Amino acid sequence: MSKILYQGDLFADYFQIYLRDEAHPDLPDDYTDEVIARRLSAGPHAIILHTVRNMTVPVCVEWHDRRPATSLDAYQHVAESGFHCPSGQLVLAGLTDYGPTAPRLAVKAGALGVRVNMSGLDTLSEDELDGDDHYLVQLWPEAEPNDVRLLKSWPER
């Protein structure tokens, strides 16, 4: 069973959107070329999704009772990982959004698996301000978080 926890637009300032445990404000701070190419970085209590535009982008976050099937053909870039959410409350925001007003998402407390699915990455305008890029974040309970795994890679232009 799955349900949509959030569907809307977020400002991906500095090409980043984060999802973190409400009680743990620290975000991953690894910005190597490898991390940027994976478009997903993970810390103990948070992930950062690296978008292709430094603009407002559409984001959907889904909750699944168990790890969902992978649909690589439907997306251009897919990466997954995990993190801990001991509070059962997630904060979803762009990097420079005002935290107290950012959306809160209720999830099962504990270790979470996360998969980031990206599509429309090749639709950016020449100035990279407009595009039909979409970001789907899937969450599920996990026994123990895994390191970031790249399941499908979209080559940079």
Q: What is the pLDDT of residues 95-106, one digit of tens each?
A: 999 999 999 999
**Position 32 in a domain:** yes
Q: Is residue 70 part of a domain?
A: yes
* 56 falls within a domain: yes
- CA 56, 57, 58, 59 torsion-angle sign: negative
Q: Is 100 within a domain?
A: yes
pLDDT per position as a tens digit, 19-75: 999 999 999 998 888 888 899 999 999 999 999 999 999 999 999 999 999 999 999
Q: What's the CATH code of the domain at 8? A: 2.60.34.30
Q: Is residue 157 part of a domain?
A: no
Owning domain of residue 40: 2-152
Tally the domains of the chain. 1
pTM of the model: 0.95
pLDDT at 108 over 70: yes
Question: What pLDDT score was predicted for residue 32?
Answer: 87
> Contact 28/42 with Cβ under 8 angstroms?
yes
